[in-house]
Amino acid sequence: MTKSDYIVSIQKVTKVYNSKFSLFSELIKKKSPKLRSFDSGFAPLSEVSFKVRKGQSVGLLGLNGAGKSTLLQILAKTLRQTSGDIEVNGKVIALLELGAGFNIDFTGRENLYLYASLLGYKKKEMPELIDEVITFSELGEKVDFPLRTYSSGMVMRLAFSIAVHSSADLIIVDESLAVGDFLFQQKCYRKITQLLENGLSLILVSHSPNLILEYCDQVLVLEKGKNIFWGSAKEGIEFFQKRCLENKIKFENTGDKLPKKATSFDINCVELINTKAFKSNGDLSNTFTFSESIFLEFSILFKKPLIDVHCGFQIKDQNGKIIFGINTNSLHKIGENFKVNDAASYVFQIRDQKLNTGKYSVSLGVASEVEKNFTGTTFKSPLIYLHDVLTFSIIKKKPDDNLWSGDIFLETSCQITKLT
């Protein structure tokens, strides 16, 4: 591919902050080069490289402190890299801190004109643009009120609306793919989808795997400032989930229950020894029809003593999007205790499933020691999480089946009454 095929090209970009910067230390370094080690540096980014093709959407994943915000700020040119090359071929709009740069004493309309001028719009182009933005924002007459009278949600609506209506080639988003209340969020998602269909490029930071899978083609994973993964969105999500679990095991678990350092989802406490899918009559199968019950069996060997063990699974569509997940704790089962070399079979029955036709995969998770808090239930010790241990397909019973849209069918009825 030629340079013109890429909207963004980043080569070995590094950002270093001097953690002990002072005028005195700078003077010492100039006078005595041997004392350059006097200062220590912190590098939130270290030789990160990737390219984004025109019309491509990239998800950016990483734990807190991985360098995501630093990279976005450098792309938005609000921060300068210490070294490395960045080439951007087109206009970039950054949705990092919505409303940043607005003047609270100006009206919403005045702020829109100011923002449009910063984006390079000519005066004669602005009225039509501003009208579109105001209509989308749904602020109505409040657009002529001073910004200091706005709620934070209204400011975000205004900023988001002008950003998505500008003639950008690339939008950089830090978690703000949609703003406002539920209905306005849906409107934002529809607008983003429309822009992507028209060839817009997107770089999106989000902690929602389904959002990344919905809008992104590729995924970049950062860890401690370094690029540790670049590939398809589905593989990137799975890779990141694996790293998250490894970190949880490494930093939260001690003692004999789990090894101090884990290198895989399977941390050698448990082993999946068999899986199978079968019908209600016991016949093994990976093909089912709509509303037919599905049985999933997982046979697991426990290599260490474990207490309060639970097993669960997730069903994902062919793009890797999670459409259903459940575990034995959610089913109000009491956690089991196991000794060394105990084995157990977990059989889940999905009764009268309402899945649409297509291919699905099943991921397996085993964890122990339920922890309850105000926000929900978690597990203290993750033991294993394996992707795509089973696959199955849903097919039609007859050609006119499945005349509905979506992943899951909801029982629906309709009553029609003529009005006179």
DSSP letter for 179, please: -
- State the DSSP string of 209-220: HHHHHHH-SEEE
Residue 2, helix vs strand vs coil? coil
CA distance 419 to 412: 22
CA distance 333 to 385: 20
Q: DSSP string spanning 51-96?
A: EEETT-EEEEE--TTSSHHHHHHHHTTSS--SEEEEEE-S-EEEES
Give, as one character, the DSSP assignment of residue 334: P
Each residue's pLDDT expressed in tens, for the chain with a length of 420 residues: 566 789 999 999 999 887 655 555 555 555 565 555 444 567 889 999 999 999 999 999 988 888 998 999 899 888 899 999 999 888 888 888 777 778 999 999 999 998 888 878 888 888 889 999 999 999 999 999 999 999 988 998 998 898 889 888 999 988 777 888 878 888 888 999 899 999 999 999 988 888 898 899 999 999 999 999 999 998 998 888 888 777 665 544 433 333 333 333 445 689 999 999 999 999 999 999 988 999 999 999 999 999 999 999 999 988 788 899 999 999 999 999 999 999 999 999 999 999 999 999 999 999 999 988 766 778 888 888 888 899 999 988 877 777 788 888 988 989 999 998
Crossing angle, helix 126-137 and helix 108-118, to 10 degrees?
Answer: 130
* Nearest-angstrom CA–CA distance, 262 and 268: 9
Per the CB < 8 A criterion, the answer to whether 98 and 179 are in contact is yes
Q: Which two tokens stand for residue 161?
A: 């609306």
Sequence-distant (≥ 6) Cβ neighbours of residue 114 within 8 angstroms: 102, 103, 106
Give the chain's domains with CATH numbers: 275-395 (2.70.50.60)
* pTM for this model (two decimals): 0.73
Per-residue tokens: 5: 């095929």
